Amino acid sequence: MKLTLKQRFLLSSLIMVGSVSVFFAALLYVTVHMMEASLFGNVMSEQVKWMAQQYEQGNIEELKIPGIWTLERKALTDANASSSPDSTLSAGFHEVIRGERGYHIYIWDKAPYRYELIYDQTDFEEQEHKIFVGTVFAGLAFMAIALIVGRFVFIAAMRPVNQLAEQVRSIDPAGRDQRLASHYSDDVVGELATAFDRQLESLRYYLLQEKLFTGDVSHELRTPLTVIAGAVDLLEQIGQQNIKQASALARIRQSVNHMSRLVDAFLLMSRSDTSENEKRVPVTVNQMVGEMLATSVPELERRNIDFAFDELSLLKVIAIPELVSTVIRNLIQNAVRYTTAGKISITINHNSFVIEDTGPGISDEIIERAFEDYVRVNSSHPSGNGMGLVIIKRICSYNNWELSITAGDSGGSKIALQFPDSQLS
């Protein structure tokens, strides 16, 4: 599972605070026990020697101070042979547990006796336990506080990053004089904004070069197209062509007209947006499709391909006619080209144009890459260079139209062109 930046930051804060809390808790535990051993060890060492001396001198009658100390004296030989748990203890300070009570024991060997000074420190152990429990709860409280404070710190630290992300999302790649770095200080976010500025400048440069190249190529193509169209007009005026020659001239004129419309579409896409709204007019898609199908009927009948045209609703869009014509014409021509038998169906709804064929279809792998440059949807077909769908997709993206490809219900492929409601007339 991939953690978000916020989750990683909060997790790091928890680990840091938890590590520090565990370190100080361990340090407190070790310090308390070292101080306890040192303090009680020194006091009990002096006390056992004093009490033993006073007892031997007869100054005290018993080796016990009620409620505080208990001193036991045993012969060294008896102490070593005893089965008592204390017999295994060496001389010096010890902390032992007997049942539910805790004791400090200091053992002093002075031949021929072993003196054991015993101090009941159960109350001290209870207080010590409370301190350690409090330390654990304090550590948990610090971790909770770290979560809360860390969240606010993260929000404050990420505010300039979020601001930069919002600016990047809303920036116009074709716009000029838009600099992000000027809004940020000379830190990591500022360096990131500077990197975005450099990449954006490169993107603008390549976009400009692409527009210039597209415009130049389109202008250059107009000259030979005009010459070809003029030659066709001249040949038609001369007349005296047989049926095959007239058919060839008709196909040439059709191709020239199609190429001219495609050049016009490229020119429109290469220009700025300032005059586009003036060229957008209501376009009746039903009528446009009907006219295109009329020119394709002879080819379909010759190849025994059935076709159906279902107009479920009138579809009118506010758009540039040349661009709508280019997209629909290419979709129809692709269906006709790749369908060798079967049926081609076209359905028009109030906001969409759908064309379905029974051709060879498109594999799932190719569908994912169908809109990439030079990807041919059917490698077995000899014609085409894989740019048809790319051109269609670019026109659709340019106009905010949605284009989708799926497998057909009866085999083949199904392509849907959907127009946004804001462009419907």
Rounded to whole angstroms, the Cα distance separating 26 from 132 reads 10
For residues 277 and 257, state if they share a domain: no
The pair of three-digit structure tokens given for residue 206, joined into one six-digit string: 């390549």
Residue 87: per-residue pLDDT = 63
Rounded Cα distance between 258 and 260, Å, is 5
Domain for residue 197, yes or no? no
Q: Specify if 182 maps to a domain.
A: no
Looking at the structure, do residues 319 and 246 belong to the same domain, yes or no? no
Residue 226 covered by a domain: yes
Does residue 187 sit within a domain? no
Residue 83 pLDDT: 45
The residue length of the chain stands at: 425
Per-residue pLDDT at 84: 54
Residue ending a domain, among 145, 160, 176, is: 145
What pLDDT was estimated at residue 349? Answer: 93
| Residues whose CB is less than 8 angstroms from the CB of residue 55 and which lie 6 or more positions away in sequence, other chains included | 62, 63, 71, 73
Question: Do residues 276 and 418 share a domain?
Answer: yes
Which residue in 150, 142, 86, 73 sits closest to 113, CA to CA? 73
If asked whether residues 277 and 265 sit together in one domain, one would say no
Kindly give the residue spans of alpha helices, DSSP state H, lying in 241-350.
Answer: 243-270, 276-279, 285-302, 321-338
Total count of domains within the chain: 3
Give me the pLDDT at residue 66, please.
Answer: 55
Q: The domain spanning residue 218 has which CATH number? A: 1.10.287.130
Residue 184 to residue 192: CA distance in whole angstroms: 10
- Establish if 378 belongs to a structural domain: yes
Q: Which domain holds residue 332?
A: 272-423
The C-alpha atoms of residue 291 and residue 309 are separated, in whole angstroms, by: 12
Do residues 253 and 341 share a domain?
A: no
Task: Determine, yes or no, domain membership for 417.
Answer: yes
**Same domain for 291 and 237?**
no
347 CB-contact burial (10 Å; exposed 0-12 / middle 13-18 / buried 19+) = middle
- Specify whether 212 is located in the same domain as 314: no
Note the pLDDT tens digit of each residue in 41-70.
Answer: 788 888 778 877 777 777 666 556 555 677
Q: Mean pLDDT of residues grouped by 10 in the chain (425 residues)?
A: 75 81 81 77 80 73 61 68 61 80 82 79 78 82 82 81 78 67 75 80 75 71 82 80 79 81 73 60 92 82 86 92 87 85 90 89 68 56 56 86 84 89 89
Please name every residue paired with 316 in a beta bridge, in sequence order, or none if there are none: 284
pLDDT at 274 (0 to 100): 46
Quickly tell me which residue has 């000074």 as its tokens. Answer: 117
CATH code assigned at 338: 3.30.565.10
Supply angle C-alpha 11, 16, 19, rounded to 5: 120
Angle in degrees, 0-180, between the axes of helices 243-270 and 321-338, rounded to the nearest 10: 130
Identify whether residues 236 and 311 lie together within a single domain. no
